[in-house]
Amino acid sequence: LLWLFPLSAASLAQDHWYQLELQQNVTVQEGLCVQVPCTFSYPWGSFGTTSVSWFRKGAGRKRDLLVATNKLGQKLHEGSQGRFFLLGDPQANNCSLSIRDVNAGDSGTYFFQMEVDFRKHAYRDKPLSLEVTALSLTPHILVPESLESGRPSNLTCAVPWACEGGTPPIFSWTSAALTSLGPRTALSSVVTLTPRPQDHGASLTCQVMLPASGVTVERTVRLNVTYAPQNVTISVCQGSRTALKIRQNASSLPVLEGQALQLRCVADGNPPVQLSWFRGSPAPKATPISGTATLELPDVGTVAGEVTCRAQNPLGSRNLSLSLSVVSAPQLLGPSCSWEDGGLHCSCSSRARPAPSLRWRLGAGLLDGNLSNASVKVTSSSAGPWANSSLSLSEGLSSGLSLSCEAQNVHGAQSATVLLSPGQRSPEGTMPGGQERGPLPLAVRMFPGTSPSFRCLAGNLWHPLACRNVTQPLLSLWVASLPLWAGLDPDSPLRGGYRF
């Protein structure tokens, strides 16, 4: 609504007997209303009824068009009916004019005319120039300071610059957010919104059409929805590569022992979430092991078990836990063998996660699980990451027979072989200390590795072997049936050499 007030230095009619006071140049935006204050005077007194009229001046030879009057029986110009009105009391010399729902076609020149006691006067020398410009005003959208997820809120779209006396505007709302229309007034519309987390940042548009002029304006706002943390995700990173993303609570992740890992946590929330890491399931005021989104694990074995990422903001918190289970390939200890009570007794152990299975291989035959008969007895057990197995052989031994201990789990396998040479005799003579040499069964053991190492079993003791003139692994020479002299270590109680 546009109010125009008389200028302090009002223009006066040239004829001082006929005076008209108004603002001659008026500008108004399309679709709005305007009121033009106006007073007039004439040079005679009268007790009759004063008739007043406003005309739009015709262009060229076109006749003037009557747009507003208080004179009965007068036909108004069709385009002005219901929009141009007289304000105030003509008997009190008030000639104010009101125009509603201004459109572009209303631009032009207007003049005022009065009539009393069969005398009339048109104030053509004081015309009103009306200029209509495009509507530049937009609706006002009133949004509550806080839009919290799950809580209904009212949003208001208003056009306070529109005139209440005009044709009521038509409101329409557009948004991806779920809304329902609420109450409205002549110049405003209310919509009820129950925001969701996914509505944060969504656009909401209020469009207003002024039907009398056909003008449409709109305004768009972005919704700022606050919500508690959600969509917590843990990314398992190895080097610069993301190997796995975890979104389910209490998930389990097998990790090779000694492997380095980086765990990254992300979560949605508004206000932004604070991320931290804890061991196990944290209490509300537990101390974090990391106060950032990233947890560095240079050696997973040191933090095996459950770790938890907590995402927190003022509206709440959410946890996501991950169980780290350490796994490893078998590490073999053994076999270790000794001659006792006329038989060969061997033991073998292995450590792995999960615990490995152990089995023996005698020559080409496989000895799996627990076994007991007249010649062979195998006993196996496991505790935690360890598996243990013992083997007793009382007969069936032959020269050159191999005995292997094999350990395996889903992450790998390892084996070690003992080569048996039973029934060999030492050279004649005595051992240091005057003890006679008796029959000394020999066994040679090969350890896995880049360079095989060997030991000799004499009696119940293992002794290191120093191999002479050997350019390839002992086992290869043995298989090729080539003669080999193995000299005992100088620190050994045996000084001679044995051919086998």
Q: What is the pLDDT of residues 400-459, one digit of tens each?
A: 778 899 999 999 999 998 877 655 433 332 333 333 333 333 344 333 333 333 444 443
Q: What is the DSSP string of 326-394?
A: EEEEEEEEEEEEEEETTEEEEEEEEEEESPPEEEEEETTEEEESSEESSSEEEEEEEETTEEEEEEEE-
CATH number at residue 361: 2.60.40.10
Q: Lowest mean pLDDT: which of 51-55, 380-384, 398-402?
A: 398-402
Find all residues with CB under 8 Å of 317, minimum gap 6, and list them.
Answer: 228, 229, 310, 311
Query: What pLDDT is recorded for position 136?
Result: 96
In a domain, 149, yes or no: yes
401: Cα separation from own chain's centroid: 64
- The answer, yes or no, to whether residue 476 has pLDDT greater than 80, is no
- The answer, yes or no, to whether residue 489 has pLDDT greater than 80, is no
Query: What pLDDT is recorded for position 238?
Result: 77
Considering 108-112, 238-242, 282-286, 458-462, the range whose residues carry the highest mean pLDDT is 108-112
Query: What pLDDT is recorded for position 373?
Result: 83
Query: What pLDDT is recorded for position 15?
Result: 57
Answer yes or no: do 34 and 116 share one domain.
Answer: yes
Answer yes or no: do 66 and 30 share one domain.
Answer: yes
In a domain, 423, yes or no: no
Q: Give the mean model confidence (pLDDT) for residues 270-280.
A: 95
User: Are the C-beta atoms of 170 and 208 separated by less than 8 Å?
Assistant: yes
Answer yes or no: do 259 and 359 share one domain.
Answer: no
Question: What's the rounded Cα separation, in Å, for the pair 369 and 347?
Answer: 14
Distances (CA, A) of 377 to 336, 346, 357, 368, 394: 16, 10, 17, 11, 9
Answer yes or no: do 203 and 266 share one domain.
Answer: no
Q: What is the pLDDT of residues 116-134, one digit of tens each?
A: 888 899 999 999 999 999 9
Closest CA to 194 of 226, 151, 155: 151
User: H or E element: which one contains 173?
Assistant: strand 170-175
Neighbours of 309 (CB within 10 A): 27
Q: Give the mean model confidence (pLDDT) for residues 214-233.
A: 96
Q: What is the mean pLDDT of the chain?
A: 80
In a domain, 336, yes or no: no
In a domain, 424, yes or no: no
Answer yes or no: do 210 and 160 share one domain.
Answer: yes
Counting beta carbons within 10 angstroms of the beta carbon of residue 57, is it exposed (0 to 12), middle (13 to 18) or buried (19 or more)? middle
Percent of the chain at pLDDT > 90 equals: 52
Query: What pLDDT is recorded for position 92?
Result: 92
Answer yes or no: do 387 and 446 share one domain.
Answer: no
Answer yes or no: do 397 and 491 share one domain.
Answer: no
Considering 65-69, 451-455, 468-472, 486-490, the range whose residues carry the highest mean pLDDT is 65-69
- The answer, yes or no, to whether residue 101 has pLDDT greater than 50, is yes
Question: What's the rounded Cα separation, in Å, for the pair 205 and 224?
Answer: 14
Answer yes or no: do 152 and 117 share one domain.
Answer: no
Query: What pLDDT is recorded for position 298?
Result: 86
Let me know how long the chain is. Answer: 500
Q: Print the domain residue range for 84.
A: 2-133
Q: Lowest mean pLDDT: which of 150-154, 276-280, 392-396, 435-439?
A: 435-439
**Domain count for the chain:** 5
Q: What angle do CA 49, 51, 57 make, to 5 degrees?
A: 170
- The answer, yes or no, to whether residue 247 has pLDDT greater than 70, is yes
The more confidently predicted of residues 60 and 286 is 286
Answer yes or no: do 6 and 126 share one domain.
Answer: yes
Q: What is the pLDDT of residues 415-431, one digit of tens each?
A: 998 877 655 433 332 33
Q: What is the pLDDT of residues 319-363, one digit of tens each?
A: 999 998 889 999 998 888 887 777 888 999 999 988 999 999 988
Answer yes or no: do 119 and 63 share one domain.
Answer: yes
- The answer, yes or no, to whether residue 36 has pLDDT greater than 60, is yes
Q: Lowest mean pLDDT: which of 34-43, 186-195, 284-293, 427-436?
A: 427-436
Q: What angle do CA 26, 30, 33 make, to 5 degrees?
A: 65
In a domain, 422, yes or no: no
Neighbours of 56 (CB within 10 A): 22
In a domain, 420, yes or no: no
Q: Lowest mean pLDDT: which of 29-33, 407-411, 414-418, 468-472?
A: 468-472
- The answer, yes or no, to whether residue 13 has pLDDT greater than 50, is no
- The answer, yes or no, to whether residue 213 has pLDDT greater than 80, is yes
Domain boundary among 223, 250, 271: 223
Domain boundary among 360, 385, 414: 414
Answer yes or no: do 238 and 318 share one domain.
Answer: yes
Question: What's the rounded Cα separation, in Å, for the pair 309 and 324?
Answer: 13
Answer yes or no: do 7 and 128 share one domain.
Answer: yes
In a domain, 172, yes or no: yes
In a domain, 335, yes or no: no
- The answer, yes or no, to whether residue 159 has pLDDT greater than 80, is yes
Question: What's the rounded Cα separation, in Å, for the pair 250 and 58?
Answer: 86
Question: What's the rounded Cα separation, in Å, for the pair 325 and 254?
Answer: 5
For tokens 């005022």, name the residue: 112
Domain boundary among 99, 118, 133: 133
